[in-house]
Structure 1
Amino acid sequence: MTAEQLVAKYAKSQPSADTELPTSAELALIGPKVPGQETIFNDGALSLLAALCEEFNEEVPELLSKRKQKQQRIDNGELPDFLPETRAIRDGEWSIRGMPEDLTDRRVEITGPVDRKMIINALNANVKVFMADFEDSLAPSWEKVVQGQINLRDAVRGDISFTAENTGKHYTLDEDPAVLICRVRGLHLKEKHVEFKGEAIPGGLFDFAMYFYHNYHQLLAKGSGPYFYIPKLESHVEARWWAKVFAFVEERFCLKPGTIKCTCLIETLPAVFEMDEILYELRSNIVALNCGRWDYIFSYIKTLNKHADRVLPDRQAVTMDTPFLSAYSRLLIKTCHKRGALAMGGMAALIPAKTAEENEIILQKVKGDKELEARNGHDGTWVAHPGLADTAMTIFNDYIGTGTNQLHITRDVDAPILADELLAPCAGERTEAGMRLNIRIALQYIEAWIQGNGCVPIYGLMEDAATAEISRTSIWQWIQHEKSLSNGKLVTKALFKSMLSEELGTVEQELGSERFNQGKFNQAAGLFDEITTSDELVDFLTLPGYELLTA
C-alpha cells in the first residue's frame, strides 16, 4: 500500500456546513458550526482568504511535487548537497532587512497549542516569546482550529480569560505578556473544511490569513506586529512562495514592505543545505532561523530512508552533541549571524517531575542542553513547559549579559562545514528496550492525536508530532534495512507486530483499563501498524491521522 493509498483509506466525506456564513462561488466553508465563528469568518477575512487562494493556491502542488522529485533522486543514491547554482548567494555580501525591537531579544521562547488556558499561561510565563502553534502540537480538528483563532484574537486584544471547570481557578493575562508569534501549518497539510474551487486549501494559508487579518492592526498599534513561524520548509523555492504571499498582503493592506515578520524552522535535512538561500528569498520579512531538532532528526531518517549506511540508533542516543546535529547547529548560527538574523536553539521537551529529587535531575539535563546551545552562540532557545523557563532564562542571561542576543558571535574561526558532516552516520545501539519505548510513545501519541490532542506528556517528555514521527520511522527503517537489535534479534515486520501487541497490553496496565477502554488505542495501533509495515515510507503520520480526527 502506498502512502497516498493509506491516506485515502482513512478519508471520509465531510459534513455540510451548519452555518449561514458568507461564502463566494469559489470559497466554501464546509466545516460544522463552531461557537463564536462569526467573529472570525467575516466578509473581510474571507475576502482575503479567497484572494490568497486565487493567487497562490495552484503553486502548492507544484512545490510538493518538487519535494517528491528531489526525494526520488536521493532514494536512487544521490546525497543532499549545497546547490551549485546558488553559490553566488552563499558567497555574496548581503543582510536581512531590519528586525523589530520586540524581536531582538528572544532568549527564551515557550511553545504550545492554541487552547485558551495554554495561551494565557504561556504569555504570562518568564519568557520573551510565546509561539502559538497550529502545527506539530495541535491536532487540527475544525473546532480547535477555529477556536484557536478566536483565542488568539482575544489575547491580542487583551480580552482573554479562562475559568477551569473542575477547580474554578480563573486565569487572566498579566500586564506585560510575552511577544506572540503564530506558527502556521506546513505546506503538506490541507484544511479540508475550507474549499476553493472545490478543492481543500493549504492549512497554512488559512492559518496565516485568519491570524493576520484579525490581529495585524492591533499588534502594530501596540508596537509589535504580525509575526509568524514557518515550518517544514524544504527549499528556498518554498521560501520564495511565502515571500510572495507576504508581499501580496502587505500591498493589499497598504503596509510598509517588511511589516510582516517571520522565523523559519530549519527542521528538514534538505533545508539545511539552503539556509542562505532561504534567508535571501525572505530577506524583507525574515528575522531568524530555528533549529527544529526533533523534526530535523525525523527528516534525516525520512530523507535518507533508502541509505542503509545512515540508519539511526535509539532515539535517546541521538543528542545535540552527535556530530551531524552539532554541525547543523553550528552552521545555522554561522549562517544567520553572517546575515544579521537570529539563530534560535531547539526544544527542551522535558517537563517538571513531581518530586524534588526527580525534578533536580530534569533541571540538570535542561541546563546542560541549554548551556551547549548558548555556548555555541544561539540567541535563544525553546521550552515546552513554564516550569523550565527560569532555568533556561538564567543560562541565556549568563551568556547574553546586558545585551539582547549573540549576533556578535560569528563563528568565522570555524572550519567550513561540509555536506559530509551534515550527513555523518550516527553511532549508537539499537536496543529492544529502545524499540519498545518507541512503540509505547508512538502508540500513546497517535491515540491522543486522533482524539484531538496534539501535545501530550508521555514518560516525562512533552511529546508532539515530531517526536512520534521519530519513533515510528526509526522502526520502519530498521525493518527495511534488516537491522538487528543489540541482543541479536532481527527487526522484522513480524517482530514489530508482536511487540506492538505486547506493548498495547503494557500501555493498558500503565493507564488502567478504564482509560484504555474509553480511548482509541486499538484504532491507533491499527494506524501505527499500517504506516510502520508499509513498504513505502508514509511522509507524515498526521496525513492519514487527519482523516481520523473528529470533525
Structure 2
Amino acid sequence: MTTSALTHRVRVLAAPGDRHDEILTPAALGFLGHLAAAFGERRRDLLKERRRQALRLASGSPLDFPLVTAAVRADPSWRVAAPAPGLTDRRVEITGPPDRRMTVNALNSGARVWMADFEDATAPTWDNVIGGQLNLRDAIDRRIDFTSDDGKEYRLADRGRLATIVVRPRGWHLDEGHLEFAGGPVPAALVDFGLYFFHCAQRQIDTGHGPYFYLPKLENRYEARLWNDVFVLAQELLGIPRGTIRATVLIETITAAFEMEEILYELREHSSGLNAGRWDYLFSLIKTLGHRTGFLLPDRAKVTMTAPFMRAYTELLVRTCHRRGAHAIGGMAAQVPSKDPAANEAALAKVRLDKEREAEDGFDGSWVAHPGLVPLCREVFDGVLGDRPQQIDRSRDDVAVSAADLLSVRRISGPPTAEGVRANVAVALRYFAAWLRGQGAVALYGLMEDAATAEIARVQIWQWLRHRVVDRETVRRLLDEELAALGAEYPWAPLEEVRALFERNALARELPGFFTPDAYARHLVRNAEPRS
C-alpha cells in the first residue's frame, strides 16, 4: 500500500480555482493516494459484484435475508458504539449542499445535526466539490461570514447551539474525474471523505465533536466493511484514535434492507445508526425488481410511507437499530414553506402527520430540507421524547418483518395517471437542467428536490414503458411539451442536452443504474493540462 501510494501520485487534472490550493495540498493529495492504493481494487470488485447480483435478481433469483449471517442476527450480545459527542440527541436533522449560504443557514437553523451533502444535493462540478470542502473548514474555524450579491449578510450565530456537521460523501459508484491515480480517476467517495477527514478531523475533535459521516447507496454488508476498513486506515494514518469516526448508513437500497443488522455489525465500532432514505429506496426497488410485473408501482405521490411494504421497511429499521443501541433516523420532509397561506398550511399539515408517525413508531429523529420546517419537526419529537435525547430504549420487540413483507408491492400497485406521467417528465427535465448548470438541490412545485427525485421520476417512466401501461408516443409528446415549457421558463436551459439525458436514462431499452455517472463524464468534467 505505501509503495503503491509513493509510486503513483494523485494528479489534479482541473484548472486551478480560488483557494483550491488550501484544500489540494501535497499532504492531502498524498493522503488520498494512500486511500486509493489501499481500497481502489476492492471497490472495483464490489461494483462488479453489484452487477452480478443485479443479473441474478433479474433472472428470477429470490431476495431474502442471508442464511450465512443468521448467527449475527440471532446473537443478542453485540451493540454498536455509544453515541459520540454531538450525536446523542438527533431529533431534528437538516440536509442540504455545502454551499456557502446553506452552510450558514443550516448551522444556524436550530436543527441538532446538519448533513452536508456532497451526493444527491450537489451537482459535482469541481468548484462545488472543492468549494464545499472550503466551506466546511471555514465553518469549523468560524470564518464563513459573507455577504451575497443582493446585500444580504450571512453570519454564524454568536450564541446558541450550532448544528453538528455530518458529511455525506458521494457513493461508491461515482468517480472524481478531476483527480487521477494510477492512470484512472479517484473514487469520488474517497475524495469527499478523505479531503474532509484530512483537513477537519482534528479540527472537529478540538471543538468537542468529531469527524462524522452519512454513507449513501450501500447495497450489502461487504460495502459497509469496506467503509469500516477505510475508517481504520484513515485514523491510523493521521494518528486519530480508532473509533473516533462515526457513520450513519442510509438504508436506501432494497438489498440493504435485507442486511440492516449485518451493516451495523460491520461498522459497529464506528456506527451511529441507520436512516430511512425513502425516495432512493423506491428508486432502488424499481431498478432492482422493476422488470417484474409484480413490482409495478403507481404514481410516486401515491406510494406513501403508510404503504404496507414501506411500513415494513421503516419498522424493521427502528427495531434493528434499537436492538443494537443505534439511532434510527426518519425520512425527508422536502416541503418548502409557501407564501400562500392556504398552500403553506396544507404542506405543514402533511409534514406534521409524517413526523408524528415517525416519532410514534420509535424513530429518534428525522430529516427536513428547509430551515422553516425545523421548529415543527422539533415540536413533534419534543412531544414524544420530552427531555430524553432519544428513545433507543424502546425496543419494538412487537415488530416481526418477513421478506414477503418487504416485497409486498402488489397491494398498492395500479396504473399511472396522466398527471403522474406528466409530473415525472416535468420534474426529471427541470432537475436535469439545473444539475447540468451546477445546482443539485432545486425547489420544484413546492418541494426541495435532489438527484433521488430525478432518479425515481425517470425509472418510473422506464418501468411504465417496459410494462406497456404507458405508450412511447405519449411520453415523447409530453417530453416535447415539457421541454418547450422549460425553455420558456428558463431561457438558459440547454434543451438538447436535457432531452438527450432524459432519452438515455428513461427511454432506453436497458435501464442505466444511475443517471449521474454518464451525465457527469459528459457534462461536468472540465479538465485542464495535468499538473502535480
Identity value in percent: 43
- TM-score normalised to structure 1 length: 0.92
Q: Secondary structure at the match of 2:523?
A: coil
**1:252-263 matches, cutoff 5 A:** 252-263=237-248
Residue 5 of structure 1 corresponds to none
- Give the drift of 1:167: 2.8
Q: Secondary structure at the match of 1:537?
A: coil
- Give the drift of 1:550: 6.0
Matched, 1:227 2:212: yes
Q: Secondary structure at the match of 1:374?
A: helix
Matched, 1:461 2:447: yes
Closer/same/farther in 2, CA of residues 550 and 73 from structure 1, 3 Å limit: closer
Match of 2:142 among 152, 158, 181: 158
Matches of 2:158 and 2:179 in 1, distance apart?
A: 35
1:190/1:202 contact within 8 Å kept: yes
Matched, 1:292 2:267: no
Residue 524 of structure 1 corresponds to 498
Match of 2:124 among 140, 162, 171: 140
Closer/same/farther in 2, CA of residues 305 and 344 from structure 1, 3 Å limit: same
- Give the drift of 1:334: 0.2
Matches of 1:167 and 1:522 in 2, distance apart?
A: 35
Closer/same/farther in 2, CA of residues 357 and 155 from structure 1, 3 Å limit: same
Match of 1:185 among 165, 170, 176: 170
Q: Secondary structure at the match of 2:510?
A: coil
Please list the CA deviations of residues 429-480 of structure 1 after superposition, one character each: whole Å capped at 9, or x if unmatched: 4101110011000000001001110100000010100011111100100111
The residue type paired with residue 478 of structure 1 is: W
2:85/2:210 contact within 8 Å kept: no
Matches of 2:333 and 2:193 in 1, distance apart?
A: 26
Residue 9 of structure 1 corresponds to none
RMSD value over aligned CA atoms? 1.3
Matched, 1:305 2:290: yes
Please list the CA deviations of residues 335-367 of structure 1 after superposition, one character each: whole Å capped at 9, or x if unmatched: 000000000000001110112222111110100
Match of 1:33 among 3, 16, 28: 16
- TM-score normalised to structure 2 length: 0.95
Closer/same/farther in 2, CA of residues 443 and 88 from structure 1, 3 Å limit: same
Matched, 1:118 2:84: no
Segment of structure 1 superposing worse, 96-105 or 258-267: 96-105
Matches of 2:155 and 2:122 in 1, distance apart?
A: 21
Matched, 1:315 2:300: yes
Residue 483 of structure 2 corresponds to 504
Matches of 1:363 and 1:523 in 2, distance apart?
A: 36
Q: Which consecutive residues of structure 1, in runs of 5 or more, have no partner in the other structure?
A: 1-22, 484-490
1:451/1:550 contact within 8 Å kept: no
Match of 2:348 among 359, 363, 374: 363
Matches of 1:437 and 1:521 in 2, distance apart?
A: 18
- Give the drift of 1:171: 3.1
Matches of 2:240 and 2:134 in 1, distance apart?
A: 24
Matched, 1:85 2:59: no
- Give the drift of 1:25: 4.4
Residue 461 of structure 2 corresponds to 475
Matches of 2:200 and 2:373 in 1, distance apart?
A: 29
- Give the drift of 1:170: 4.0
Q: Secondary structure at the match of 1:290?
A: strand
Q: Secondary structure at the match of 2:86?
A: helix
Please list the CA deviations of residues 196-251 of structure 1 after superposition, one character each: whole Å capped at 9, or x if unmatched: 11100110100111000111111111110000111000000000000100011122
**1:28-427 matches, cutoff 5 A:** 28-93=11-76, 94-175=78-159, 176-414=161-399, 416-425=400-409, 426-427=412-413
2:336/2:448 contact within 8 Å kept: yes
1:158/1:173 contact within 8 Å kept: no
Aligned length: 516
Matched, 1:548 2:523: yes
Q: Secondary structure at the match of 2:133?
A: helix
**1:433-448 matches, cutoff 5 A:** 433-448=419-434
Matches of 2:356 and 2:57 in 1, distance apart?
A: 35
Q: Secondary structure at the match of 1:430?
A: coil
Matches of 1:372 and 1:521 in 2, distance apart?
A: 41
Matches of 1:101 and 1:533 in 2, distance apart?
A: 48
- Give the drift of 1:374: 0.6
Closer/same/farther in 2, CA of residues 167 and 410 from structure 1, 3 Å limit: same
Q: Which consecutive residues of structure 2, in runs of 5 or more, have no partner in the other structure?
A: 1-5, 527-532
1:111/1:383 contact within 8 Å kept: yes
2:121/2:451 contact within 8 Å kept: yes
The residue type paired with residue 317 of structure 2 is: L
Segment of structure 1 superposing worse, 472-481 or 95-104: 95-104
1:90/1:277 contact within 8 Å kept: yes
Segment of structure 1 superposing worse, 38-47 or 320-329: 38-47
Matches of 2:493 and 2:240 in 1, distance apart?
A: 48
Matches of 1:125 and 1:168 in 2, distance apart?
A: 17
1:342/1:379 contact within 8 Å kept: yes
Matches of 1:131 and 1:173 in 2, distance apart?
A: 18
Matches of 2:501 and 2:487 in 1, distance apart?
A: 18
2:276/2:331 contact within 8 Å kept: yes
